Amino acid sequence: MSFSSYFSAIRWVVENETITATTGQKAGKNGLYRSVYGTLGGWVRNDLNDYRYFAEVVAHGGFAAAGRALQEPKSKLSRRIANLETRLGIRLIERTSRRFRVTEVGQAFYLRCRAMLLEAEQADAVIAETQAEPHGVVRFSCPTGMVEVVSPLITAFLHRYPKVRLQLLALDRAVDLIEERVDVALRIRIALTSDAELIMRSLGESRRILVAGRQWANHAGKPISALAGLPTLATQDEPGEVVWELESTAGDTHTLRHAPRMTCSDFAAVRAAAIQGLGVAFLPDHSCREALAQGGLIRLWPDWHSQAGRVHLVFTTRRGLPPAVRAFIDCLAGGFPAGALSDKAG
């Protein structure tokens, strides 16, 4: 627990010099430093409950009421606060058998004690949050083409946390996390300027590659310009001309403007069409890896690919995340299998 609140209270006392000490005289700065800082070593070692007792006495307007609230004897509270005043060398409460009045410094000290107690409660909440079993609803937005990648992680997460309910929004657009009440979104961006106001957790990189069924193997090794003469399969829903921007490992660039034979935002459907020989597809490498390994797909131009995009999670804040949301983020960030995404561009 931080002692900044305690030191701030003392600093306020010293700088303002409006304090009536136990002698009834205004203490100068040097005197206060001696009376307060001179006992600091013992102060830190003392039970911090004294500050809680003092705050409760002030909040309840007296020792009797505070004793009832705390279920502590009135005499104990009076003794502990008297000891506190002695250690500080400052009168915090003026009290007689008929009168109870918090002094000026006592009021300032009370405000600092309240801040200290709130800080302690927040510290407890941090521990409680980490120990609490995740539960409740998590709303997660993900591009349709990445659902296939995250699905095994989602099922493992839900098996591990049976009290969590997940709402998966498969959307090929950037959602407004606050407006649409989305807890976590998975995004792929070449430039991260659009996510500057959000908290980001990187997962890796992804790039698109040119793949086709083995029926097109005779086109391997031809110049990239030959791509313009082949049927294509695209992963977009918008009608009209499709543009593929490619770059080579040698640093060259090539732009293909074409009218695809088939368009679909679902990577799996486009991949299946490519395996069947319907045309050349420009798909993320992670969605083709298994089909390439099994021989269903081949890379016609292995030196050409898209610019690398950064795959990342975005969420609105680090502090105060519900346990279920934090656990889900950790699951996705730590659960991607080796090779699921590119380690680097190029």
Give the domain CATH number at 110.
1.10.10.10
User: Does one domain contain both 39 and 49?
Assistant: yes
pLDDT at 169: 96
Within-domain flag for 68: yes
Q: Which residues of the chain have pLDDT under 70?
A: 1-47, 129-131, 191-196, 336-346
User: Does one domain contain both 12 and 76?
Assistant: yes
User: Does one domain contain both 297 and 331?
Assistant: no
CATH number of the structural domain spanning residue 301: 3.40.190.290
User: Does one domain contain both 183 and 271?
Assistant: no
Within-domain flag for 22: yes
User: Does one domain contain both 42 and 186?
Assistant: no
User: Does one domain contain both 143 and 222?
Assistant: no
Within-domain flag for 342: no
First to last CA, the chain: 48
User: Does one domain contain both 145 and 199?
Assistant: yes
User: Does one domain contain both 184 and 313?
Assistant: yes
Within-domain flag for 38: yes
Within-domain flag for 147: yes
Within-domain flag for 343: no
178 is written with which tokens? 């606050």
Contacts of 209 (CB under 8 A, 6+ apart): 282, 283, 284, 285, 288, 299, 302, 304, 305, 306
Q: Which of 66, 97, 125 is the last residue of a domain?
A: 125
Q: Which of 82, 98, 125 is the last residue of a domain?
A: 125
CATH number of the structural domain spanning residue 158: 3.40.190.10
User: Does one domain contain both 237 and 329?
Assistant: no
Q: What is the pLDDT of residues 41-52, one digit of tens each?
A: 444 445 688 999
User: Does one domain contain both 294 and 215?
Assistant: yes
Query: Whole-model pTM?
Result: 0.57
User: Does one domain contain both 180 and 328?
Assistant: yes
Number of independent structural domains in the chain: 3
Q: Is 100 exposed, middle or buried (0-12, 13-18, 19+ CB in 10 A)?
A: middle
pLDDT at 195: 61
Within-domain flag for 212: yes
Q: How many residues does the chain have?
A: 346
Q: Note every long-range contact of 343-346, with CB atoms under 8 Å and residues 24 or more positions apart, other chains counting.
A: 343/204, 343/205, 344/205, 344/308, 345/205, 345/207, 345/307, 345/308, 346/249, 346/308
Quick one: CA dihedral 235, 236, 241, 246, positive or negative? negative
Give the range of the structural domain holding residue 181, as residue numbers without chain letter: 136-206+309-335
pLDDT at 192: 63
Q: Which of 98, 125, 152 is the last residue of a domain?
A: 125
Within-domain flag for 344: no
User: Does one domain contain both 261 and 282?
Assistant: yes
pLDDT at 3: 40
Q: Phi and psi for 242 in degrees, rounded to 5?
A: -110, 140
